[in-house]
Amino acid sequence: MFIDHVEILLKAGDGGKGCRSFYRDKYKRDGSPDGGDGGKGADIVILADKSLYTLYDFKFKHEFRAHHGGHGSSKGKKGAVGPDVIIRVPVGTVVIDKETGAKLRDLDTEGAALVAARGGKGGLGNRHKSEATLGEPGEERAVILDLRVIADVGIIGFPNSGKSTLISAVSNAHPKIASYPFTTKSPILGVVNRDERVFVLADIPGLIEGSAQGKGLGDKFLRHIERTRLLLHVLDMAGVDGRDPLQDYKVINQELKFYSREVAVKHQIIVANKMDLEGAKENLERFKKAIRKKVYPISALNKEGLEELLGAIEKKI
């Protein structure tokens, strides 16, 4: 299951107590103070890891605690410092402070990390010639992990228009393909390997009229294409489901506008799919006349027209 929004609770380690003790041996009964410092509490670090793809694991574990620092002891011995807790999340995870709503960090590159809860400082031992002190408590906070997948190109269109067929024809992704709507239920990433460069496509669940109001699978997956540089707008030019591609084109753009201006103004490459089917050619002529934009005719099923399309994508990014 694809999970892209979770809340977790973090409690960093408390600092250990400073020690109060005095040097003693057979000859000396109350020597100088020699209590050691408490150890620092361990931190909780959130780290972006490109081998992860969803926040699914956090459905089952949403509380994280780090080790407390050890207490200081006599003969100036310092308290132990435990290992930090490392929480791995997919690249593209935004970390938000739940209480303030503030964005703490956008972990948008492999290896990006954030100390999300800081361990408390250890207390001072009395060897510093002052009273021993307690350690500071570790930070405690609730954070929201909000994943927005990172891809160069987002694929949008009505259900059944052939988005998944296209991504599986040109990339290493092989999502389920079927002749009914809403086959794709979560975002799929596919890597396209060209001679010159590599780029990532994101296939998201289909949009319909009313997606912005939550119809169908709604528009909640659109956030996953917010960071793309370019959109592929895939149309079923043969109108297999009895719709008109020109109308489809307008409806999808309207839904994008309802969703956000930022997504609505993204550059779109218009893809006329299913050109192998009857009626597609006539529809395409009519469509081109009406919108007067460059259109890329393809058959994702027969792998026709894909080279031109990939070339255009490459040029644009």
Ligand X SMILES: Nc1nc2c(ncn2[C@@H]2O[C@H](COP(=O)(O)OP(=O)(O)OP(=O)(O)O)[C@@H](O)[C@H]2O)c(=O)[nH]1
Q: Applying CB under 5 A, which residues contact Mg ion?
A: 164, 183-184
Q: Is 211 helix (H, G, I), strand (E, B) or coil?
A: helix
Largest CA distance in the chain: 107
Look at residue 165 and give the partner it binds from Mg ion, ligand X, none, a contact being a CB closer than 5 to 8 Å depending on partner kind. ligand X
* Phi/psi of residue 148, nearest 5 degrees: -125, 110
Instruction: Please state at what angle helix 306-316 crosses helix 163-170, rounded to 10 degrees.
Output: 80
Look at residue 11 and give the partner it binds from Mg ion, ligand X, none, a contact being a CB closer than 5 to 8 Å depending on partner kind. none
Check residue 228 for interaction with ligand X (CB under 6 A): no
Check residue 264 for interaction with ligand X (CB under 6 A): no
CB of 166 to ligand X, least distance (A): 7
Quick one: which segment of 45-53, 90-98, 260-268, 270-278 binds ligand X (CB under 6 A)?
270-278
Check residue 164 for interaction with ligand X (CB under 6 A): yes
| Residue in 158, 168, 159, 152 with CA at minimum distance from that of residue 300 | 168
CB of 100 to ligand X, least distance (A): 37
Buried b (16+ CB within 10 A) or exposed e, 92-131: bbbbbeeeeeeebbbbeeeebebebbbbbbbbbbbbeeee
Residue 236 to residues 78, 156, 278, 293, Cα–Cα distance (Å): 70, 12, 12, 17
| Residue in 9, 131, 129, 135 with CA at minimum distance from that of residue 80 | 135
Dist CA 169 CA 171 (whole Å): 6
CB of 241 to ligand X, least distance (A): 9
1 touches 56 (CB < 8 A): yes
Nearer to ligand X, 173 or 191 (CB): 173
# residues contacting ligand X (CB under 6 A): 24
Nearer to ligand X, 211 or 228 (CB): 211
Look at residue 299 and give the partner it binds from Mg ion, ligand X, none, a contact being a CB closer than 5 to 8 Å depending on partner kind. ligand X
158 touches 248 (CB < 8 A): yes
Dist CA 38 CA 69 (whole Å): 6
CB of 286 to Mg ion, least distance (A): 26
Quick one: which segment of 110-118, 139-147, 174-182, 243-251 binds ligand X (CB under 6 A)?
174-182
Check residue 211 for interaction with ligand X (CB under 6 A): no
Check residue 93 for interaction with ligand X (CB under 6 A): no
CB of 281 to ligand X, least distance (A): 13
Strand partners, 234: 157, 271
CB of 229 to ligand X, least distance (A): 21
Give residues in contact with ligand X (CB under 6 A): 157, 159-165, 177-179, 181-184, 205-206, 273-274, 276-277, 299-301
